A = this chain, B = another copy of it.
Amino acid sequence: MREGTLLYAQSGGVTAVINATASGVIQAARKRKVRVLAGRNGILGVLREELVDTSSLDAAAVKGLAHTPGGAFGSCRFKLKSLDADRARYERLLAVFQAHDVRWFLYNGGNDSADTALKVSQLAAASGYELACIGVPKTVDNDLALTDCCPGFGSAAKYTAVSVAEAALDVAAMADTSTKVFVYEVMGRHAGWLAAAGGLAGRGPDQAPHIILFPEIPFEEATFLARVRATVDRVGYCVIVVSEGLHGPDGRFLAETGGSVDAFGHAQLGGVGPLLAGLVKAKLGVKVHWTVPDYLQRSARHLASKTDLDQALAVGKAAVAYALAGQNGVMPIIQRLTSRPYTWRIVPAPLEKIANHEKKMPANFITPDGYGISAACRRYLEPLIAGEAPPPYGPGGIPAYVQPRLKLLRKRLPAWDPAAH
């Protein structure tokens, strides 16, 4: 094996278990005596040459990362464009790699990050700089191609299923004189995976959730309202799970804020829950409550899925193994072998087949009426939320999450000039 440094960076929205992947990376690299640097705030930290020296973290801190949500080294929303459009930035990355003898680059993110990792590897090859680039999967949206599921999703899915089940018991108890319709808004811009997870809270037409609104299915107001009314009449109350990405027949997001976009060029969403609640109240005249868990659903490490945690650790360890074995332009993905019992393994997949693809729910995962999940979907989802992996709690009653002090390496290059690069 050649000498060199391994660089790890987190990208995009963090999850309950992305730090577990980081922990897996550091543990695996230490076993192989390889030094690990981490980008401070993701790829931006690499451009700025703000690199964390993880060798200053003791074993307890590295272990503690596996039960700590958020992104310990910082993440960022910062998308590099094509090699042609952003060449100066890609070259800056390579310059930083060279300055610190980085020979293995592990980029932990979604499909945008897979694209960046792929382009960095192409530029390195063209420049004759020996570098292995590995994408490491992560996203609560579960929308990466090829892999059976994405680390981070299982825990957010478990949080959603449990929270819907709990809130539904509350609503059921009060419906006689109080709230009759409850709206639960989940994340998921274009893919309804988290909305589907809400469906695990119950079974059959009378158990909550009674209606799931997927981004894959255009919203029809009249049909929806009729279904809410029928459910309230039949069951006494109605629990609705709605994806933030719900859109109308015209393709526009219901909650579109009108031109506000994030750094990746996606429309910034939020608020379809209260919007639907207002609609139901106005049209049906019943008492409505709504919730928007927002970041709680992707940071709820206290309710992590054991399956998800195991997979998050495994992809981190596999990424190191692939890198050190000289694999390049690949991502360790999860391959399902059987559903019942659930068995899986990690295998490498080419980044070019993952970059910029977005995996939506297959049509057969949604019931024909468009408002629920099918048996096939349940069979797919259930193992992903199975098992509990609670963090240790402190005497004060909250989890003992770690917040390691980050020691930055001394810079070796001139400061990065975002305007010039």
Interface residues of A (CB under 8 A from B): 10, 13-14, 16, 41, 44, 68-72, 74-78, 158, 161-163, 165-174, 176-179, 182, 200-201, 262-263, 270-271, 274, 289-296, 298-303, 305, 382, 384-388, 390, 393, 395-399, 401, 403
| A263 with B69: CB separation less than 8 A | no
| B293 with A166: CB separation less than 8 A | no
**Residues of B contacting A171 in the complex (Cβ-Cβ under 8 angstroms):** 295
**Residues of B contacting A298 in the complex (Cβ-Cβ under 8 angstroms):** 170
Other A-B contacts than A44-B176, A71-B174, A166-B300, 4 sampled, CB-CB below 8 A, are: A70-B172, A70-B173, A182-B295, A200-B398
**Residues of B contacting A78 in the complex (Cβ-Cβ under 8 angstroms):** 177
Tell me which of B68, B162, B167, B401 contacts A398 (CB under 8 A). Answer: B162
Tell me which of B176, B291, B386 contacts A293 (CB under 8 A). Answer: B291
Known: A302-B166, A302-B303. A177 touches B41 (CB 8 A): yes
Q: Which residue of B lies closest to A397 (CB)?
A: B385
| B77 with A174: CB separation less than 8 A | yes
13 A–B pairs (Cβ distance < 8 Å), ordered by A: A14-B170, A71-B169, A75-B173, A77-B178, A161-B397, A166-B295, A170-B295, A170-B299, A171-B295, A178-B262, A178-B263, A274-B274, A293-B293
* Cα–Cα distance between A78 and B300 once the two chains are bound (Å): 35
Tell me which of B71, B77, B274, B296 contacts A167 (CB under 8 A). Answer: B296
Tell me which of B74, B161, B165, B386 contacts A401 (CB under 8 A). Answer: B165
Tell me which of B74, B172, B290 contacts A173 (CB under 8 A). Answer: B74
Tell me which of B69, B172, B263, B386 contacts A395 (CB under 8 A). Answer: B386
A44 to nearest B CB, angstroms?
Answer: 7
**Residues of B contacting A300 in the complex (Cβ-Cβ under 8 angstroms):** 163, 166
Known: A161-B397, A292-B291. A176 touches B386 (CB 8 A): no
* Cα–Cα distance between A386 and B393 once the two chains are bound (Å): 9
**Residues of B contacting A387 in the complex (Cβ-Cβ under 8 angstroms):** 397
Q: Which residue of B lies closest to A201 (CB)?
A: B398
Q: Which residue of B lies closest to A384 (CB)?
A: B397
A64 to nearest B CB, angstroms?
Answer: 12
Query: Quick one: which of A76, A302, A401 has the most chain B CB within 10 A?
Result: A302
Tell me which of B162, B169, B263, B274 contacts A68 (CB under 8 A). Answer: B169
* Cα–Cα distance between A303 and B162 once the two chains are bound (Å): 11
A298 to nearest B CB, angstroms?
Answer: 7
Q: Which residue of B lies closest to A291 (CB)?
A: B294
* Cα–Cα distance between A185 and B384 once the two chains are bound (Å): 30
* Cα–Cα distance between A13 and B287 once the two chains are bound (Å): 14
* Cα–Cα distance between A321 and B325 once the two chains are bound (Å): 70
Known: A178-B262, A399-B165. A291 touches B295 (CB 8 A): yes
**Residues of B contacting A173 in the complex (Cβ-Cβ under 8 angstroms):** 10, 14, 70-72, 74-75
* Cα–Cα distance between A10 and B174 once the two chains are bound (Å): 10
* Cα–Cα distance between A290 and B203 once the two chains are bound (Å): 31
A184 to nearest B CB, angstroms?
Answer: 9
| A166 with B200: CB separation less than 8 A | no
A220 to nearest B CB, angstroms?
Answer: 26
A11 to nearest B CB, angstroms?
Answer: 10
A364 to nearest B CB, angstroms?
Answer: 20
A274 to nearest B CB, angstroms?
Answer: 7
**Residues of B contacting A77 in the complex (Cβ-Cβ under 8 angstroms):** 174, 177-178
